[in-house]
Structures are given as C-alpha cells and as structure tokens.
Amino acid sequence: MSEIIETLQFVYGPQVANGLAIGVAVILMALGLTIIFGLLDVINMAHGEFYALGAYLGITLAARGASFWLCLALVPLIMAAIGYATERALIQRVFHSGDRHTLTLLLTFGLAIIAEDAFKLAYGPNPYKPDAPISGASELLGIVLPNYRLFLIAAGSAIILAVWLVVYRTSLGAMVRASAFDRNMASSLGVPVDRVYAGTFAFGVALAGLSGVLLAPVYSVFPTMGKDFILMAFSVVIVGGMGSIKGAVIAGLVLTQIQSISSLFISPVWSEPLVFGIMVLFLMVRPQGLAGRLGHG
C-alpha cells in the first residue's frame, strides 16, 4: 500500500504537476490560435512568431527598466495593435478571394519566415533568459514545484477564465460569436464585422504575446522559439475543436498529461509524435474535435 502511495508521490505526482504547468502554457498558446481559427477561419502559421515577438518585446521593455509586471500589462496592448494592423494590412487583402484558405496559410507562412530572420537580425542568434519575478520552490506532499510555475498555473487559469467570460458573457463576445456563425446576418444586424474580425485577430495575437512574456523565464527567448509550441498548439486546437475554448482547455490538459506521463514508459522523443498521432486519429475519425466550433455550439 505504502509502495503505491510512494509511486504516486514520487513518480506520477511530479509528472502530473509538471504536466499541469506545461498544460497551462500550451493552452494559452492554443487559445489565441483557436479563436482566430474559429472566427476568421484563418490558419495563422505565424502564431508562434507572435508568441516570440511578445517575449522579445518583454525583454526590450525590461532592458529599459520596466518591471516584469509592467511588461505583462504593456506587451499584450502592443501586440493587439500589431495584430490589428496585420489583419487589416495583410489578411484582408486575400480574405475575399476564392482561395482564401490556401492564400492566408501561405501568407502567414511567409510572415513566419520573415519574422524568424528579423528576430535574429534585431536581437542576435543567442538566447536570452529573463529572471523569473518569483523565485524559490515549494514542496507539497513531496512534490517540488518552483513558485513561478505555481504562479503560472494560477495566472494561466485566471486568463483562461477571463477569455471564456469575455467570449461567452459579454456583448463583445456575442458579436464575435455571431460573426463566426453567420457573417452576413451579423452584418445586417449592425455588427461591424470587419472591425470585429480585425479585433479578434488582434485579441488572439495579444494572447500569444502574453504567453511569450509569461513563459520567457521558463523556456528562454531565442529566434526559433516560435516553433517550440506550434505543433502542440495545433494538436490541441484540432483535438479540442477549432474555435472551441472549452475544447482547447480540455484537450490542452489531456494532451500535455499524456505527453508528460508517457515519457515514463516510452522514449521521451516519441511523446510529441504520440500526441501528433492522436491528432491525426481525431482528424480521421472525429474532425470536429471534442467540442465543435465557435458559435456553432
């Protein structure tokens, strides 16, 4: 009996706790992605680069003396502005053509290529690591977790809740969901659909940037960091259902737990391909994911 408890405490416990911290990080990334998918039907292949941009902006502001908390507040605002501009200047141009899916995919793909090189030009190829604003570690039932990760779990959960509230409990959110459900109808009802689109994209981008700032002390900042989470984030979005926040949360938690615990049994290299395999399975068997699409219930 005590052996079971010990196994739970020292083997599975830490894995679950770590998986939780990673899960919150992935969910934050996936949230922005799924909202952009769900509403604009746009695959933002540059989402990882916006995540990276947020992290780099955080470092730049910090170098000018801004505290971590100030960065946390400022970066999403700056990112939202950048996202809004990107949507109007780039996405809108190809949005109304017949080949929209392919073109936006290609466009954001091109953007990602440029962004990565631009980061290297502006900040150099070597990594940066901002200090975590909260240091030290805590022990709970024999499981050790750094305090900053506990903060991440708490803050991440709060953000996810806030996003859910905004989308489902405010009139702003209602406009977004209406536009996703039926663009023309929403427009004829007086919803400024163009601005809603741009605003939603901005929101998704701001979320990505926020994740960048939050995760920088844990995962460090370097030009190719945009690729860190992208496959996981896309897997979460697809398994959870394109455009579903609830789905992204559930899928995010489940998939990161699978990844974390599976590394106990199989070579860790295969954990991510395993998650990817689950995504492929979903695509073959239940392409709408766990929870379906934004606005569509």
Partner 1 sequence: MAEAALLRATVEAGERVQFGGQNLFAGLFVVLALAFAVFAGASGDTFFFRLATEALILAGLAMAVDVLLGYTGLLSLGHALFFGFGAYVSALVLKNVAPSFWAATGITLLAATLLGFIAGFVSIRARGVYFALITFGLAQVVFKAVYNTREVGGSDGIIGIPQIRAEFGLFSVDAQSPAGFFLLTLALVMLLYAALAYLMRTPFGRMLVAIRTNEARVPFLGFSPWQVKLAAFVVAADTAALAGSLYPMLRGFVSPELFAFQASGNAVIMVILGGSGTLAGALYGASILTALKSVIGSWSEHHLVIIGALFMLSVIFLPKGLAGFALPRIQRWLGRRGEKR
Partner 2 sequence: MQQLTIIAAAAAVFIAGQAQAQSTIKIGVVTPLTGTYAGIGQQVKWGIDLAVKEINDKGGVLGRKIETIYEDEEANPNVAVQKAEKLFQVSKVDFLTGTVNSGSTLAVGQVAERNNRLASTTVSFSDAITGDKCSPNMFRVNAKAGMQSAALVEWMVKEKPSPSVFYLGPDYEMGRSTVAAFKSAAEKRGAKSVGEVFAALDNKDYSPFFGQIRAARPQVLYTSVAGNDTVRFLTQLSEFGLAKGLQIVGAAGTVTAQNMGAVGKAADGYVTGAAYSAEIDTAENKKFVADFKAAWKTEPDLYGVDSYGVVYFYKTAVEKAGTTDTDKLRSAMRGLEWQTPQGKKTMRAGDHQAVQDMYAVKVVNGKFQIISKVAGEAAVGPDTCTKF
Which residues would be at the binding site for partner 2 (CB under 8 A)? 10-11, 14-15, 18-19, 21-22, 117, 120, 124-129, 131-132, 137, 144-146, 148-149, 218-220, 222, 224-225, 227-229, 260, 263-264, 267-269, 271-272
The answer to the question of residue 90 lying near partner 1 (CB under 8 A) is yes
96 counts as binding partner 1 under rule CB under 8 A:
no
As given in the structure block, the two tokens for residue 172 are: 């702003």
- Residue 94 interacts, among partner 2, partner 1, none and using kind-specific CB cut-offs from 5 to 8 Å, with partner 1
Q: Which residues face 139 on adjacent strands?
A: 144
Which residue, 209, 222, 48, is CA-closest to 130?
Answer: 222
> Measured from the CB atom, is 42 or 71 closer to partner 1?
42
Residue 64 sits at φ, ψ, to 5 deg, of -90, 10
In DSSP notation, the chain reads -HHHHHIIIIIIHHHHHHHHHHHHHHHHHHHHHHHHHHHH----TTHHHHHHHHHHHHHHHHHTT--HHHHHHHHHHHHHHHHHHHIIIIIHHHHTSTTHHHHHHHHHHHHHHHHHHHHHHHH-SS-B-PPPSS--EEEETTEEEEHHHHHHHHHHHHHHHHHHHHHHHSHHHHHHHHHHH-HHHHHHTT--HHHHHHHHHHHHHHHHHHHHHHHHHHH-B-GGGGGTTHHHHHHHHHHH-TT-HHHHHHHHHHHHHHHHHHTTTS-GGGHHHHHHHHHHHHHHH-TTTTT--TT--
With contacts defined by CB under 8 A, name the span among 14-22, 50-58, 69-77, 93-101 that binds partner 1.
93-101
Rg (CA), the chain: 19
- Partner from partner 2, partner 1, none contacting 148, C-beta within 5 to 8 A by type: partner 2
Choose one: 9-17, 102-110, 180-188, 189-197; the region binding partner 1 (CB under 8 A). 102-110
- The minimum distance between CB 67 and partner 2, in angstroms, equals 18
Q: Is 53 in the site for partner 1 (CB under 8 A)?
A: no
Q: What is d(CA 262, CA 68) in angstroms, rounded to the nearest whole number?
A: 34
Residues 7-46, mask of contacts with partner 1 (x by CB under 8 A): ------------------------------x-----x---
Q: Which amino acid is at 206?
A: A
Stretch that binds partner 1, among 55-63, 86-94, 131-139, 257-265 (CB under 8 A): 86-94
CB of 36 to partner 1, least distance (A): 12
Tokens coding 12: 């599975």
Between 74 and 290, CB nearer to partner 1 = 290
- Does 266 bind partner 1 (CB under 8 A)? Our answer is no
Nearer to partner 2, 88 or 120 (CB): 120
Report in angstroms how near the CB of residue 189 gets to partner 2 at its nearest.
44
Q: Which of residues 113-172 bind partner 1 (CB under 8 A)?
A: 113-114, 116-118, 121
CB of 268 to partner 1, least distance (A): 12
Q: Note whether 280 binds partner 1 by CB under 8 A.
A: yes
Binding site for partner 1 (CB under 8 A): 37, 43, 90, 93-94, 97, 99, 101-103, 105-107, 109-111, 113-114, 116-118, 121, 231, 234, 238, 269, 273, 276, 279-280, 283-284, 287
